[in-house]
Amino acid sequence: MAAAADAWHPLNVVPSINFPWLVRSKSLLVALPIAQIAIGAKYLKECTQQNYIPVYVLVCGVFSMSLLLLTCLPCFQKDNPALKCLCYIWNSLVSGFTLCWFIAGSVWIYSIYPPNYNSTVVGEPYCNKILYQFALWTTTLVYILLAILLVGCCCLLICVCICKPKAQSEVVTQA
């Protein structure tokens, strides 16, 4: 029974992943954090209506990049429990901060919707259109992906609950 449990353990699946495919997927995933860092840095002082939006975009990019880089580390080696514990703590802290930062950024972004894009009026707060729309759509995209993930998990849970009684009844009838 223990051997069967070990066969399905996620750590045993990692060596079977194709390395070139892994590099391509990581390269694709790193594009959004790079864009966040670039746009956040370029328009850092161009949202006087809500000064935290460019900082939010920039910090999201930096922390997303750090989470992607952390996935490249060999944190889940069976022979090094100290490294495993350290990586778990670090990933938990960074993920917790990212969640709190995402909630704060959502408040900053959606609280000024629709912003004033006109920067020519002196003394009136504005927000750069590229910066604001990038922040709005990347945040909205995260909400959409979370909703898809939630619906998928609910469907999977329903399928497991429906199929589980059938499997148990087959075991009972065979005994």
Handedness of CA 59, 60, 64, 70 (dihedral sign): positive
Give residue-wise pLDDT tens across range 12-35: 444 556 777 777 777 888 899 999
- What letter does residue 63 receive in the DSSP assignment? H
In terms of C-beta density within 10 A (0-12 exposed, 13-18 middle, 19 or more buried), how is residue 82 classed? exposed
pLDDT of residue 151: 97
Cα–Cα dist 133/131, whole Å: 6
CB atoms within 10 A of CB 2: 6
Instruction: Give the pLDDT of the chain (175 residues) as one tens digit per residue.
Output: 445 445 444 444 445 567 777 777 778 888 999 999 999 999 999 999 999 999 999 999 998 888 887 777 666 566 777 777 887 888 888 888 989 999 999 999 999 999 999 988 888 999 999 999 999 999 999 999 999 999 999 999 998 888 876 555 555 556 5
Domain boundaries, the chain: 10-143
Q: Report pTM.
A: 0.76
C-alpha Rg value of the chain to the nearest Å: 22
